[in-house]
């Protein structure tokens, strides 16, 4: 009877040891979480910008007319890599107009 109990405990212990993930699996999971976090960071930036827009409208909306305009300017005069991706593209940015 003692042998059977010992064998069951040993088999249960081995099953638990085999169920644990290896270091490569853990590193892959950490890398996936890191990439998801980077994507989330961009979403937080977009959300923060939208909250700032609403803040401006609430702060001075009763005093001034607020408009948000997309401005496109000429490309940079001197670029670090003139043959790189995006070289020669115009400068684009959002701006607020208060009237």
pLDDT of the residue at 99:
84
**What mean pLDDT is reported for the chain?**
79
The span from the first CA to the last CA of the chain, in angstroms, equals 90
Residue position matching structure tokens 């069951």: 8
Task: State residue 20's pLDDT score.
Answer: 58
**Annotated domain spans of the chain:** 21-63, 65-99
Which single residue is written with the structure tokens 């040891």? 17
Angle at the Cα of 5 from the Cα atoms of 3 and 9, rounded to 5 degrees: 115
Q: Give the mean model confidence (pLDDT) for residues 21-39.
A: 78
Residue with tokens 């670090």: 80
pTM: predicted TM-score of the whole model, two decimal places:
0.46
Mean pLDDT of 41-49: 84
CA dihedral 65→66→70→76, nearest 10 degrees, is 100
Output the pLDDT for position 16: 56
């Amino acid at each position: 009877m003692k042998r059977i109990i010992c064998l069951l405990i040993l088999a249960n212990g081995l099953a638990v040891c085999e169920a644990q993930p290896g270091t490569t699996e853990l590193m892959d999971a950490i890398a996936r979480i890191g990439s998801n976090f980077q994507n989330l960071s961009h979403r937080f930036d977009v959300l923060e910008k939208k909250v700032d827009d609403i803040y401006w409208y609430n702060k001075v909306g009763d005093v001034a007319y607020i408009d948000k305009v997309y401005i496109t300017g000429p490309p940079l005069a001197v670029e670090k890599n003139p043959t790189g991706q995006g070289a020669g593209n115009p400068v684009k940015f959002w701006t607020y107009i208060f009237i």
